[in-house]
């Protein structure tokens, strides 16, 4: 049997921080090793206490693979890996970031955070089901109306962002964060409509209630959420955003980034479905914003705007 060779950028030094070493070596790991690494980095306290069968089951690998992983990251075996995890947790800073430890330089913090997010994105991409995304895009493309619901600061922003994207494509769409308005919108939906529910947590009572009302009225519920949540359970289509939990934020950077990417993916696919007329529409919008937008690089536009305001004020002052 071919053994996994130790990763060149991982130090076997017992004094080194094993969490930082695992994080630094993510890009050099195989797919199976990355799953094990992500599992440990996401919840090192649990990994330190779990037995080999539990670790293997959660990572979707065999028990011998867990032992080989421990040796690959510079440990004598699983027991040694757990001892090093305990040492790292005793001096670490998991509630700042799972990949950062006290004493890291600015360059190390940048490398750790960017590298961690890059690894998460790669893993998330492989989890995606293109057929689900295609089905969601097709239904939204043909919908009479798409209502975007978000509960909470991040979800509300994403709902408004999705509404703005769909509006540019010529789709009749709304964005609601108020619980009562969500219920009103859901109650006016039909079988031709889509209720696009955004919630990483996936268990906000007001949003679940609105989604239930939308389903009762025949709307297709598309949920941007984690797989194993109450919102996912009631949705007709789930666009999964399963990423490691953040130690500080309820919706961390990884979750935020993958949600934005999913909105971008949907917008592009829907835009392609809507054809040349939509591309022309987007081109016209782009040109208008460049030539007449008040935040354009052309300073004359700002002067033009103020002249319009001053002229209006002057006309009102001279009116009888």
Q: How far apart, in whole angstroms, are the C-alpha atoms of residue 220 and residue 300?
A: 47
pLDDT confidence bin for 9, thresholds 50/70/90: very low
Which pTM value belongs to this model?
0.67
Tell me what percent of the residues of the chain surpass a pLDDT of 70: 82
CA count, 13 A, side-chain hemisphere, 248: 10
pLDDT higher than 90, residue 112: no
Q: Which residue has the higher pLDDT, 173 or 88?
A: 173
- Nearest by Cα to 61 from 85, 30, 83, 84: 30
DSSP state of 28: G
Mean pLDDT of 139-153: 96
Is the per-residue pLDDT at 18 higher than 70?
Answer: yes
| Token reading at 104 | 């890291």
For 194-231, write each residue's pLDDT tens digit.
Answer: 999 999 999 999 999 999 999 999 999 999 999 989 99
**How confident is the model at residue 3, as a pLDDT?**
43
pLDDT tens-digit profile of 258-301?
Answer: 999 999 999 999 999 999 999 999 999 988 888 877 666 665 65
Most confident of 3-7, 30-34, 194-198: 194-198
Which residue matches tokens 């994207």?
165
Query: Which pLDDT belongs to residue 311?
Result: 66
Instruction: State the sign of the Cα–Cα–Cα–Cα dihedral 28, 34, 39, 42.
Output: positive
Lateral strand order in the sheet of 220-225: 173-176, 145-150, 193-198, 220-225, 237-240
pLDDT, residue 101, reads: 67
In degrees, rounded to 5, the angle at the alpha carbon of residue 43 between the alpha carbons of residues 206 and 6 is 145
């Amino acid at each position: 049997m071919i053994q996994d060779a130790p990763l060149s950028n991982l130090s076997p030094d017992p004094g080194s921080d094993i969490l930082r070493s695992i994080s630094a070596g993510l890009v050099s790991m195989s797919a199976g090793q990355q799953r094990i690494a992500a599992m440990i980095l996401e919840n090192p306290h649990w990994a330190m206490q779990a037995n080999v069968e539990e670790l293997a089951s959660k990572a979707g690998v065999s028990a011998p693979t867990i032992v080989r992983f421990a040796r690959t990251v510079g440990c004598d075996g699983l027991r040694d890996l757990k001892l090093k995890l305990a040492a790292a947790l005793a001096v670490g800073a998991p509630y700042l970031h799972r990949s950062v430890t006290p004493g890291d330089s600015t360059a190390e913090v940048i490398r750790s955070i960017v590298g961690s997010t890059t690894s998460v994105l790669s893993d998330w991409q492989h989890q995606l089901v293109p057929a689900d995304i295609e089905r969601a895009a097709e239904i939204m493309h043909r919908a009479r109306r798409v209502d975007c619901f978000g509960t909470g600061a991040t979800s509300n922003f994403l709902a408004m962002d999705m509404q703005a994207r769909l509006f540019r494509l010529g789709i009749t769409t709304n964005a609601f964060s108020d619980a009562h308005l969500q219920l009103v919108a859901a109650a006016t939906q039909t079988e031709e409509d889509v209720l696009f529910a955004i919630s990483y947590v996936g268990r906000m009572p007001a949003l679940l209630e609105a989604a239930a009302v939308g389903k009762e009225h025949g709307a297709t519920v598309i949920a941007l959420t984690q797989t194993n949540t109450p919102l996912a359970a009631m949705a007709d289509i789930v666009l999964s955003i399963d990423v490691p939990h953040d130690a500080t934020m309820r919706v961390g950077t990884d979750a935020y980034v993958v949600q934005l990417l999913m909105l971008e993916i949907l917008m592009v696919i829907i835009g392609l479905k809507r054809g040349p007329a939509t591309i022309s529409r987007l081109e016209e919008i782009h040109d208008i914003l460049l030539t007449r937008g008040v935040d354009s690089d052309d300073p004359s536009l700002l002067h033009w705007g103020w002249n319009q305001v001053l002229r209006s004020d002057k006309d009102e002052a001279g009116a009888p």
